[in-house]
Structure 1
């Protein structure tokens, strides 16, 4: 009898209540993960305040129904705020999220019409976007409450300063932006400080430091919009172009910076990997050369040392070829000389070249379908692909087993398969296996090295010859790399 049966029987008539309590606890854990539960002392009051402000705003609008022109203006600002919220702008140096130009339109609503209208615009714009993003409910609730509270405070501040003169309009727009920014920073810093276990003051200082310049940009845009709107809502449309330009440029700039960071990371990783891959064969060659300098080295020992030098020199040559190939492929300068190629002949050469140096316990078989037609390929590139896949299969079969290279016709293409019974690849690694510098065993915990370029090069070369390549694998049971090339 299982533990559940014992518990329910022991509880008697209270068993069903206990089961319901367990279900509620499981639901609570799913709805409020551990990280989220730490922020509840901040999230719940913000959500409650936001709900209260939203109800009060709607009540105020119902009691004092706005005019048609006001409703049209608020609707236009709501559409603009929603679109801006849907495409946030990343802030350099801030990993917690991004800023949104929706703030410009929410604050403008507060400065032009009042806090009830601003609260409704804040509520609907963030709620619609959060619903579309399908974020966790607790996060959506907090963000919505935050926007409503900030919009309401902004409206109250702007109302105090709003007047008919240009100076009063400018002050109302700027102080409204400052109010929204202040509420945003105070509450977000409180949440992230609790979430990360950091000092609230340090978190707030960091966010204010990194978001100060974006705040000034948003405040300037808000003041511009409010001033133009005061002249004529139609005149304010002139800011649409600059806003779109700023948003697109900022997103493009952020993507460019991310690409540069990724390039830097890949460069550092490349240097580390190449240094290791060069050191190993050079050490072997150097050691063998020093031993060969001794006059008493003869017979089988001398032959073994010469074989080490030959093998490691070939390994260095392959490494250099891989680096150069990857460079040409990245630069799109790799040239292909496509023509009818005897694939069987290329495959036999790739197999026979390695047979003499196979480790004990490792079997390399070649199976070729009879009357295999020629393929439209570059002979050198096809040879490079097969050698890379062959070496990969051997490298990932440290305990021996069978490596099979098979060629067969599949309709209008010839399929090449390189199968091993080695370590295999974890399922979560498969989507990344053909990425540049990706290694299944980066820390060499299983004693398998490599540059992470071989499979990337293979796929690029196959696709360059109008073919396709894929892999199937079971971790611990081996892998099968397959590619197809068109028949000539």
Structure 2
């Protein structure tokens, strides 16, 4: 039993020792010596031998344990340094990624801001260009208006002043006096019409013109307009009216529609000294009323067919007028829901066509 206990202590101590051949051999000798002493019965000396073995094993155990702990501490220090290095590297990559993401966001935000400012600049530039174009157009229209009006008003005023002064002559016979009255009356009406055109274009321009829309029969209106102009025309051309409908009732402003018809017919008489001028009325395939004024005059050049509906546009400078008549017609027709154009297929003179809805349902005409 004693041997087993001693052997256990020794083996326990030796199990932690490094496997050095010399140290193992020395311990074996101590062990054999103690065994021999035990066999001889020299227990006290054997116990001392076992004690030495135990002390030696304890010393070696402590040394080995300290070495192993130190090795473990060194290994832990290395692992900790590697972990810290990896952590620092991870933080460095995170920092680089964060900086790149920030720079990318800053670049993207800058591009978005620059694009927005560029769009604002383009919009401002376009608005400036539009305002400049409108201002130039306004100046041009003003110059044309003053030029046309100064010429158009001066002629009838000179006639009124000259023939009024002539009427004061005592030696003037009744026939000449009547002719002077007719000239004065004609030029007075011309002045009134010029002023009316200016007022109309101003009212339509600021949308203050009021429309009195109602149901009206327009076939009779066309006949009356043709009959009236036939009595006062200053041309040898024949003015007539053609239609295939006996009656046609539409929702319109009767006075404004009559104004359009008179303007178109009077405009045709200025350029048709002989031949014919025809006002026609029909219901087209779209179910709208279609009016047309066709003449056998000099016609309208293709390059001027769209421009003639502009303000102060005149086909011939030598013909009397303000250049506002067709512009007024277009504005009124558009306000009534229709449209006007020049028939390019007609080559026997000029043919102006405008459409008018039969009803104003769903539309507000003011």
Over residues 69-91 of structure 1, what are the superposed CA-to-partner deviations in whole Å (9 max), with x where a residue is unaligned? xxxxxxxxxxxxxxxxxxxxxxx
Tell me by how many angstroms 1:357 deviates: 3.2
Quote how far apart the aligned CAs of 1:382 are.
0.8
Q: 1:244 to 1:296 in 2, by over 3 A?
A: same
1:258 CA drift (Å) = 1.8
Residues 256-279 of structure 1: CA deviation (Å, up to 9, x unaligned): 122111111111111111111111
What secondary structure is seen at the aligned counterpart in 2 of 1:407? Answer: strand
Greater Rg over alpha carbons, structure = 2
Say if 2:333 is the partner of 1:459.
no
Aligned partner of residue 462 in structure 1, secondary structure = helix
Structure 1 position 378, deviation (Å): 0.4
Query: 1:235 deviation in Å?
Result: 4.8
- Structure 1 equivalent of residue 296 of structure 2: 421
TM-score (norm 1): 0.49
| Structure-2 separation of matches of 1:464 and 1:231 | 54
Q: Pick from 162, 165, 174: which aligns with 1:287?
A: 162
2:105 and 2:250 mapped to 1: Cα distance?
Answer: 72
2:275 to 377, 395, 401: 401
Mapped contact 1:425–1:479 kept (Cα < 8 A) = yes
- Call closer, same or farther: CA 1:252–1:301 in 2, change over 3 Å: same
How far residue 349 of structure 1 moved from its aligned partner, in angstroms, is 2.9
Match of 2:108 in 1: 234
5 Å-filtered alignment, 1:471-482, equals: 471-472=342-343, 477-482=348-353
Q: 2:309 aligns with which of 434, 437, 457?
A: 434
Shift, 1:281, TM fit: 1.4
Q: CA deviation at 1:473?
A: 5.2
Note if 1:390 corresponds to 2:270: no
Question: Contact 1:366 / 1:404 at 8 angstroms: preserved in 2?
Answer: yes
Q: Supply the distance in 1 between the matched residues of 2:114 and 2:173 (Cα, whole angstroms).
A: 86
Aligned to 1:365, what secondary structure does the other structure show? strand
Distance 1:476 1:276, change over 3 A: farther
Q: Map Cα deviations across residues 194-218 of structure 1 (whole Å, 9 max, x no partner).
A: xxxxxxxxxxxxxxxxxxxxxxxxx
Equivalent-residue separation in structure 2 for 1:390 and 1:355 (angstroms): 10
User: Is 1:372 the counterpart of 2:247 in the alignment?
Assistant: yes
Tell me the distance in 1 between the aligned counterparts of 2:344 and 2:269.
15
Q: Is the Cα–Cα contact under 8 Å of residues 423 and 475 in structure 1 kept in the other structure?
A: no
Of the three residues 127, 149, 158, the one matched with 1:252 is: 127
**Against the structure 1 CA distance between its residues 310 and 473, is the aligned structure 2 distance closer, same or farther, given a 3 Å change threshold?**
farther
SS in 2 for 1:451: coil
TM value normalised by structure 2: 0.64
> Which residue in the other structure is 1:95 paired with?
none
Aligned equivalents of 1:240 and 1:415: distance in 2? 51
Q: What are the superposed Cα offsets for residues 384-403 of structure 1, whole Å, 9 maximum, x if unpaired? A: 11111111000111x32211
Structure 1, residues 149-174: CA drift from partner, whole Å, max 9, x if none?
xxxxxxxxxxxxxxxxxxxxxxxxxx
2:186 counterpart residue number: 311
Would you say 1:347 and 2:219 are equivalent positions? Answer: no
Partner residue in 2 for 1:469: 340
Q: Paired residues, what number?
A: 256
Distance 2:246 2:345 in 1: 32
Does the Cα contact within 8 Å between 1:362 and 1:401 map onto a contact in 2? Answer: yes
* 1:107 aligned residue: none
Taking the TM superposition and a 5 Å limit, the aligned residue runs for 1:212-231 are none
**Distance in 2, Cα, partners of 1:311 & 1:414:** 34
Query: What is the CA–CA distance in structure 2 between the aligned matches of 1:322 and 1:362, rounded to whole Å?
Result: 25
Distance 1:360 1:318 in 2: 19
What is the CA–CA distance in structure 1 between the aligned matches of 2:256 and 2:151, rounded to whole Å? 26
Pick one of 346, 356, 360 that aligns with 2:231.
Answer: 356
**Equivalent residue runs for 1:126-141 within 5 Å:** none
Separation in 2 of the partners of 1:264 and 1:288?
Answer: 36
Distance 1:338 1:326 in 2: 20
C-alpha separation in 2, matches of 1:476 and 1:294: 51
- What is the SS of the residue equivalent to 1:353? helix
Residues 309 and 327 in structure 2, CA contact (< 8 A), matched pair in contact too: yes
Q: Which residue of 2 aligns with 1:73?
A: none
Q: Give matches, 1:98-177, under 5 Å.
A: none
Q: For the structure 1 residues 232 and 378, does the alpha-carbon distance in structure 2 shift closer, same or farther, using more than 3 Å as the test?
A: closer
- With over 3 angstroms needed to count, the CA separation of the structure-2 counterparts of 1:311 and 1:345, relative to structure 1, is farther
Structure with more contact order per residue of length (Cα contacts < 8 Å, sep ≥ 6): 2
Give the RMSD, CA atoms, in angstroms: 2.5
Q: 2:270 touches 2:319 (CA, 8 Å); kept in 1? A: yes
Distance across 2 between alignment mates of 1:354 and 1:232: 76
Pick from 304, 320, 324 the counterpart of residue 449 of structure 1.
Answer: 320
The structure 2 residue matched to 1:266, chosen from 141, 155, 164, is 141
Answer yes or no: is the 8 Å Cα contact 1:424–1:473 preserved in 2. Answer: no
